[in-house]
Amino acid sequence: MLKLAGEAEGSVGTSAPVSLLEWFDLGKELILVLERPVPAVDLQKYKAENGRTLPEDKAKVILKQLVDAAKELEDKHIFHRDIKGENILIETGSDVPRVRIIDFGLSCFVKQRSLYRVFYGTPLHTPPEWYRRSCYRCGPTTVWQMGVVLYEAVHARDFDTERFLSKKLSIKKRLSTKCRNFLEACLTKVPEKRQHWRSSSITPG
């Protein structure tokens, strides 16, 4: 949070990650005073208020901002590790919903080829490579999590990696071809293919 604040002077209310306003080290605990956008709700509640699923055009606006935010974090060598609906605030004070990312409690600094062998994040959203290799990387994991966010936004159900891999969850055919292609690209089992899509800076059609 200090790095984000240091590299975005005067960023309160303007950056995708919420800003650190103040912090206190009390020895056994650390207190962070963070920006709280008002009015805003998390993406899960925002979806519930819009009939349990979002139309593709609204989901696209949110995902485009989320992709830009993920690229901003990557440029600063920060791995959030737990991008999900509950950690995405949607500012609702204007006609266009605005994305803000919260909860950096599991975040870490990352090097280009860093490999992680201890999983931190939401178990239901674990990337497939963790089950096969017991390790994961920043870029492909972030892309997987963005796919999960979009999946939950346009489906009236929660995502579960194991159920998805065993084909007990599927991508709805009613979605547009571009939206399905985006989901399939993000939610592919092969992390190296996700890395390629991340580099291409794709957004859902």
The residues annotated with a catalytic role in the active site are: 82
CB 48 within 8 A of CB 74: no
CA atoms of 25 and 18, how far apart (whole Å) = 20
Two structure tokens written together for 142 = 């972030």
HSE (CB half, 13 Å, CA atoms) of 181? Answer: 8
CA atoms of 49 and 136, how far apart (whole Å) = 34
CB 16 within 8 A of CB 100: yes
Residue 30, phi then psi, degrees to nearest 5 = -120, 125
CA atoms of 91 and 43, how far apart (whole Å) = 10
